[in-house]
């Protein structure tokens, strides 16, 4: 941006300089030519006056010697055909001047001024020749001065434009830096408005936007934490009900579920209280799928569902923490139990695809009527529509995505979490 502004300034200055300096250069050349011709005309007229006032040829020759001391040469063509002064041919211009007409004519060597003088013996012609060098005397120096002035103006424009552009680009860079920080989750980032009024107003608006986003996020965290705390009461009641179960095995199984629920609520509260964005640790996707398969396997047996687990024996590290991946996987498996009839089989699988890891849940149910059900708030069965959105956002937070399709057999639904692979899974 800085270089672009400087180039624009130089381009505009160059146009202005060409518009003014070229005419000035032509004017300097014209003035030099007019000055040389005026001096030549003065020489010719002074000698013509001398011829008209005397008939002494010796005095005329002496006057010619005095006039012909510089680069200009003066010649007198007498009526009897004699030529006094600098030798010169009798050209058509001289013949025209003998008719009584003063004139200035161009020649191959420069220019000539001719003045006729009438006398008793006829018309004499005084001719003063001006060489080309005298016609352009001082023009080169004038053009050099104009060129130097143009270069100085261009240099001044470049310097001033660079200073102005640096100030403007610095303000824009500050805005871009703060915008990047806000986009990365640093809601404390603020910019000091500077630069032109328009850029400064953008900085003020950006600061106000950061304040509003921080306020909205704080309100959302407070609401989530409040709702999570409200779940404590029904969870406590549920624990009391579990303790009253007579069957020890059933009591132990239900107590494990309640413990998982309490852990999930605690995780929500801790997440809501976190004000700093943190990078989630890596995890082994294969280990997470095995663990959640054991959890859902009990319910699958209870509903006569065939559950197949296709997980590689080695670790498949992904850039998302185990809790988030497990929660996203629970959402996808829970959809199978909620939206397919008992006895419908499903499959959990993990495999690598290039630099990405694929975590998929597929079932043999009726399938999805609308692929937009992955959008937040969309549901075709009266639910909140937040489940699949949770899975999608989990993948997108680490640069992945959620795909919805049909299994290879052409029946049912298939939900695929595409996650970027990370380094070795953390212990």
Flag whether 312 is in a domain. Answer: yes
Say yes or no: 406 and 295 in one domain: yes
- Within this chain, do residues 402 and 332 fall inside the same structural domain, yes or no? yes
The reply to whether 146 and 267 lie within a common domain is: no
Whether residue 265 is found in the same domain as residue 330:
no
Position 361 scores a pLDDT of 93
Which residue among 114, 137, 160 closes a domain? 137
Statement to judge: residues 223 and 336 lie in one domain:
no
User: Which pLDDT belongs to residue 184?
Assistant: 76
Highest mean pLDDT out of 26-30, 162-166, 197-201: 26-30
Is the per-residue pLDDT at 381 higher than 60? no
- pLDDT surpassing 50 at residue 376: no
Mean pLDDT of 289-316: 90
Residue 301 has pLDDT above 60, yes or no: yes
Q: Are 124 and 116 in contact (CB under 8 A)?
A: yes
Same domain, 106 and 44: yes
DSSP assignment string, 109-160: TEEEEEEEEEETTEEEEEEEEEEHHHHTTTHHHHHHHHHHHHHHHHHHHHHH
DSSP code at position 108: T
Phi-psi region of 224 (alpha: psi -120 to 50; beta: other; left: phi over 0): alpha
In-domain check, residue 305: yes
- The last residue of one of the domains, among 162, 195, 227, is 227
Residue 398's CATH number: 3.30.565.10
pLDDT tens column, 320-353:
888 888 888 988 998 888 888 989 999 999 999 8
In a domain, 255, yes or no: yes
Are 268 and 304 within one domain? no
Provide the percentage of residues in the chain whose pLDDT is more than 70: 88
Please count the structural domains in the chain. Answer: 4
CA 370 from chain centre, in angstroms, equals: 39
Say which CATH number the domain at 98 has. 3.30.450.20
Q: What is the mean pLDDT of residues 376-390?
A: 55
**More confident site: 376 or 325:** 325
Q: Please say if the pLDDT value at position 426 is more than 50.
A: no
Please indicate, yes or no, if residue 216 is contained in any of the structural domains. Answer: yes
The domain containing residue 164 runs over which residues? 141-227
Task: Classify residue 30: in a domain, yes or no.
Answer: yes
Measuring CA to CA, which residue among 328, 376, 367 is closest to residue 346? 367
Which pLDDT score is estimated for 242?
77
Q: In the chain, count H helices and then E strands.
A: 11, 12
Q: Is there a single domain that holds both residue 401 and residue 298? A: yes
Q: What is the DSSP string of 258-302?
A: HHHHHHHHHHHHHHHH--S--PPPPEEHHHHHHHHHHHHHHHHHH
pLDDT tens readout for residues 359-370: 999 998 887 765
Place of tokens 């006032």: 53
Domain boundary among 137, 160, 186: 137
> Do residues 110 and 202 both lie within one domain?
no
Choose the weakest-confidence range: 109-118, 160-169, 262-271, 391-400: 262-271
**Residue 114 confidence (pLDDT):** 92
Domain match, 303 and 249 both: no
Residues 287, 412 within the same domain: yes
Residue 377, pLDDT score = 44
């Amino acid at each position: 941006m800085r270089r672009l502004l400087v180039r624009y300034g130089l381009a505009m200055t160059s146009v202005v300089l060409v518009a003014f300096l070229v005419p000035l250069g032509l004017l300097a050349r014209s003035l030099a030519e007019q000055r040389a011709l005026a001096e030549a005309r003065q020489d010719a007229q002074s000698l013509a006056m001398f011829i008209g006032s005397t008939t002494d040829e010796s005095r005329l020759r002496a006057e010619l010697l005095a006039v012909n001391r510089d680069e200009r040469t003066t010649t007198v063509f007498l009526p009897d055909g004699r030529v006094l002064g600098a030798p010169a041919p009798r050209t058509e211009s001289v013949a025209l001047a003998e008719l009584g007409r003063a004139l200035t004519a161009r020649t191959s060597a420069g220019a000539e001024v001719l003045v006729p003088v009438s006398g008793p013996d006829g018309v004499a012609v005084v001719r003063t020749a001006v060489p080309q060098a005298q016609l352009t005397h001082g023009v080169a120096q004038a053009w050099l001065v104009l060129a130097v002035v143009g270069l100085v103006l261009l240099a001044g424009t470049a310097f001033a434009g660079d200073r102005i552009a640096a100030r403007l680009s610095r303000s824009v860079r500050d805005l871009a830096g703060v915008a990047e920080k806000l986009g990365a989750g640093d809601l404390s980032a603020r910019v000091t408005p500077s630069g032109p009024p328009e850029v400064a107003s953008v900085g003020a608006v950006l600061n106000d936007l950061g304040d509003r986003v921080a306020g909205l996020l704080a309100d959302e965290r407070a609401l989530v934490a409040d709702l999570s705390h409200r779940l404590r009461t029904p969870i406590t009641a549920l624990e009391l009900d579990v303790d009253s179960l007579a069957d020890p095995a059933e009591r132990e199984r239900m107590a494990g579920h309640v413990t998982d629920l309490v852990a999930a609520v605690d995780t929500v509260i801790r997440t809501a209280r976190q004000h700093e964005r943190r990078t989630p640790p890596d995890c082994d996707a294969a280990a997470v799928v095995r663990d959640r398969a054991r959890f859902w396997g009990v319910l699958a047996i209870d509903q006569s569902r065939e559950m197949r687990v296709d997980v590689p024996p080695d670790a498949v590290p992904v850039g998302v923490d185990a809790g988030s991946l497990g929660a996203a996987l629970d959402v996808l498996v829970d959809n199978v139990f909620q939206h397919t009839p008992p006895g419908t089989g499903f499959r959990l699988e993990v495999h690598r695809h290039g630099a990405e890891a694929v975590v998929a849940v597929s079932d043999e149910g009726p399938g999805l009527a609308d692929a937009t059900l992955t959008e937040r708030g969309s549901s075709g069965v009266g639910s909140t529509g937040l489940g699949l959105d949770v899975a999608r956002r989990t993948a997108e937070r680490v640069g992945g995505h959620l795909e919805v399709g049909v299994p290879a057999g052409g029946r049912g639904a298939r939900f695929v979490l595409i996650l970027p692979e990370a380094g070795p899974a953390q212990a």
